[in-house]
Structure 1
Amino acid sequence: MSVKSLFAGAVGVAVLVMPVIASSASAETSSAAAAKTVCVSTSGAPQFRQYIIAGLGKWNESVRNVQLKECAGATLRYVEGSYGQQGSHAVTNGHGQGTIYIDYQQMAKYDKVRITAHETGHALGLKDHYQGPCSELMSGGGAGTSCHNASPNAQERQSIERMWANGYTAPETWSIQQ
């Protein structure tokens, strides 16, 4: 086999493979482009901003279909204060909109990033599961003060990916019309 034939064959293979590689890269780009961005404001919780940002980071590194960041036109706001028995909580529609209340007393007692990531989970559509182990982010304070896991587990990640697959798909409601 001549060098010329070998070179021509290599170029031919490269020409055939390049569209596949380009197609694969394009699919990754379009998948990433399909991610919904939820804009957040931390201006109401300046004392805890670093923990909120870290909690958002836990979600951003765990899921692809939704990303959270500080930007203009925030639909999700964080505020700090003393909320008594209610403690830290989220008032949200579960679609990336609402207000997350960060409680001073809970932040002094529990893992700060876990609290912010947990409450953000509500804003993304997850419910509490207080009976769950520390490995479940949505077990919240039920896992105790020694729990420092601030990352969603596989089931929580899958739920968010499913819910946010096309932006956020509202829960299906069925009715029978007569």
Structure 2
Amino acid sequence: MRFDLKRVAVATLAAAAMTLSIQALGPGTATAAPAVASVRVLYYDASGAGEFVNAVHQGAANWNARVTNVRLERWTSGRTRNVRVLVDNGWPRAYVNSLGNGTIYMGRQAVTEGHNPTRIAAHELGHILGLPDRRTGVCADLMSGASAGTSCTSAVPNSREIAEVNALFAGSVLVAAGWRSEAG
């Protein structure tokens, strides 16, 4: 996977600053609402996800319920395909071409070993949304991935991951400049 580390670092710092500002104000303190950013829509194609298609849809829904600056929608003909989701017998992985664009493999090996398919899908979508692996071993950290163990079924991003993705997509355009494979 390729990441723009500078952009991820800036997003992480922005998220940390936002968290510190909220903590400094204390609970119940009224604040001005932040400027509303455009929502960037990314279209994902799960038609090649095999038996994991519903897990992919749920993983996307989990992100959509929590982030505000980007939305993952099912790809339909005539739309730009940003993300292609495929299945194979290997380990799950994401190949990121650019922020919001790439290919995810829902590898059966992790599911065979006992990992939760929806957590896998949400984790791999997190890579497409600009997040790196963080092998913390903490179940509440979606990007900790398999390091949290097979008993972890949490498939939702935590507040830090949400803030980072929102920062990465802040001020984004309504529809992403697309990505197409040779197969179309």
TM-score range, shorter chain: 0.7 to 0.9
SS of the equivalent of 1:31 reads coil
Counterpart of 1:106 (choices 104, 107, 110) is: 110
When the two structures are superposed, what TM-score results if normalisation uses the length of structure 2?
A: 0.70
In the alignment, is residue 79 of structure 1 matched against residue 86 of structure 2? yes
Counterpart of 1:165 (choices 150, 170, 180) is: 170
Counterpart of 1:56 (choices 53, 60, 68) is: 60
Contact 1:89/1:101 (8 A) holds in 2: yes
Counterpart in the other structure of 1:31: 36
Distance 1:90 1:160 in 2: 16
Q: Which has the larger Rg?
A: 1
Counterpart in the other structure of 2:142: 137
Cα RMSD, aligned residues only: 1.9
Task: Identify unmatched segments of 5+ residues in structure 2.
Answer: 1-32, 174-184
Q: Which has the higher contact order (CA 8 A, sep 6+)?
A: 2
Distance 1:127 1:113, change over 3 A: same
Distance 1:94 1:147 in 2: 29
Distance 2:117 2:106 in 1: 9
Distance 1:39 1:166 in 2: 18
Displacement of 1:132: 4.0
Displacement of 1:47: 1.5
Distance 1:98 1:141 in 2: 21
The alignment covers a number of residue pairs equal to: 137
Counterpart of 2:96 (choices 85, 92, 98) is: 92
Distance 2:66 2:111 in 1: 23
Distance 2:83 2:139 in 1: 26
Contact 2:44/2:84 (8 A) holds in 1: yes
Distance 2:149 2:135 in 1: 10
Task: Identify unmatched segments of 5+ residues in structure 1.
Answer: 1-26, 169-178
Counterpart in the other structure of 2:129: 124
Displacement of 1:159: 0.4
